């Protein structure tokens, strides 16, 4: 087994872990990864033996988080935590839907991948602490009012008058994927992007491969694949059509079984998909 070049860390601020997050965490632990899960608050469903730390060590709870935060609020919190973590540690961030296939034995501290459309995604991410892109992102996210260079000036002015330019007020992705891609292009660090099959062998259009019964691993994985991004949409599909469980014989079902995870004990949850 090849060695891990970096420790890996994840973050969770939502409800109890479903079988998806459980099998993702186990995919790292079972391959001998130095893995840490940062928690915003106590939750259930954490796999036995998972090293846990208090997320407040890296980033205290943001002021926009209330008693019943929305899915977007939690996503923004996660984005802010991700970049603050990378500023403080040499570590690879991995979303809790980024299933590990093989150890990450990578020669560079620039760790991120493109998707099939060439867009850089932050689901698996590391940047050197001296990275100009990471510095740009930190400066971008520092003010109480965040003004994105891609935002229309008239929109910014309207939002400013409403007092709605904080991180949780911005469009979805404006504190995560979009500033990352912008900063990497601006500094030229996007040249370090790994090809799509490394971290994103499936993408939204091909996600059904993950829950289609009988589909082989070879239909999903490629020789260079290190991680499979499951995406939150998958949980919505499972919750809508299969009571939160992976269809028997599907890749998801096989991976859960591989790691000793019983999906019936922690079904996937998510907003139901609208009827066709």
**HEC profile for 255-270?**
HHHHCCCCHHHCCCCC
128: left (phi over 0), alpha (psi -120 to 50) or beta: beta
Which residues, in sequence order, are bridge partners of residue 113?
121, 194
Q: How many CB atoms lie within 10 A of CB 92?
A: 27
**HEC profile for 33-60?**
CCEEEEECCCCCCCCCCCCEEEHHHCCC
Is 275 domain-assigned?
no
Is 127 domain-assigned?
yes
Residue 65: pLDDT band with limits 50, 70, 90: very high
Measured CA to CA, the distance from residue 108 to residue 273 in angstroms comes to 40
**Predicted structure pTM score:** 0.96
Is 54 domain-assigned?
yes
Is 2 domain-assigned?
no
pLDDT in tens, 165-194: 999 999 999 999 999 999 999 999 999 999
Is 270 domain-assigned?
no
Residues with Cβ < 8 Å from 261, sequence gap 6 or more? 19, 22, 23, 26, 47
Contact by Cβ (8 Å): 235, 21: no
Average pLDDT over residues 63-77: 95
Helices (H) then strands (E): counts for the chain? 9, 8
Is 65 domain-assigned?
yes
Question: Count of domains in the chain?
Answer: 1
Contact by Cβ (8 Å): 95, 124: yes
Is 271 domain-assigned?
no
* pLDDT for res 275: 86
Structural domain boundaries enclosing 75: 8-261
Residue 1: pLDDT band with limits 50, 70, 90: very low
Report the CATH number at residue 54: 3.90.550
Measured CA to CA, the distance from residue 186 to residue 202 in angstroms comes to 27
- Burial of 25-37, coded b for 16+ CB within 10 Å and e otherwise, reads bbbbbebebebbb
Average pLDDT over residues 82-93: 98
Please state, for a pLDDT cut of 70, what percent of the chain lies above it. 99
The number of residues making up the chain comes to: 276
Helix runs in the chain, H state only: 19-29, 71-88, 132-141, 153-162, 177-187, 196-199, 208-211, 231-241, 251-258
pLDDT in tens, 90-126: 999 999 999 999 999 999 999 999 998 879 999 999 9
Measured CA to CA, the distance from residue 70 to residue 75 in angstroms comes to 9
pLDDT in tens, 236-248: 999 999 999 999 9
* pLDDT for res 255: 98
Is 1 domain-assigned?
no
């Amino acid at each position: 087994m090849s060695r891990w070049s970096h420790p890996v860390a994840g973050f969770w601020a939502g409800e109890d872990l479903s079988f998806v997050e459980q099998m993702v965490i186990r995919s790292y632990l079972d391959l001998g990864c130095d893995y840490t899960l940062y928690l915003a608050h106590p939750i259930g469903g954490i796999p036995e033996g998972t090293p846990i730390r208090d997320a407040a060590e890296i980033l205290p709870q943001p002021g926009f988080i209330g008693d019943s935060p929305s899915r977007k609020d939690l996503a923004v919190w996660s984005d802010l935590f991700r970049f603050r973590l990378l500023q403080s540690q040499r570590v690879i961030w991995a979303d809790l839907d980024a299933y590990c296939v093989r150890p990450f034995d990578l020669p560079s501290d620039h760790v991120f991948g493109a998707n099939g459309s060439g867009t850089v995604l932050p689901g698996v991410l590391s940047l050197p602490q001296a990275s100009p892109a990471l510095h740009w992102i930190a400066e971008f996210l520092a003010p109480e009012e965040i003004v994105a260079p891609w935002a229309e000036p008239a929109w910014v002015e309207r939002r400013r008058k409403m007092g709605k330019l904080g991180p949780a007020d911005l469009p979805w992705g404006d504190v995560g994927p979009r500033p990352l891609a912008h900063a990497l292009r601006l500094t030229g660090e996007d040249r370090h992007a790994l090809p799509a099959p490394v971290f994103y062998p499936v993408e939204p259009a091909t996600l059904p491969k993950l829950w289609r019964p009988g589909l082989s691993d070879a239909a999903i994985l490629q020789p260079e694949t290190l991680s499979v991004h499951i995406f939150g949409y998958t949980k919505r599909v499972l919750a809508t059509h299969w009571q939160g469980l992976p269809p028997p014989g599907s890749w998801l079902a096989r991976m859960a079984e591989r790691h000793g995870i019983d999906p019936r004990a922690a079904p996937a949850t998510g907003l139901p998909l609208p009827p066709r």
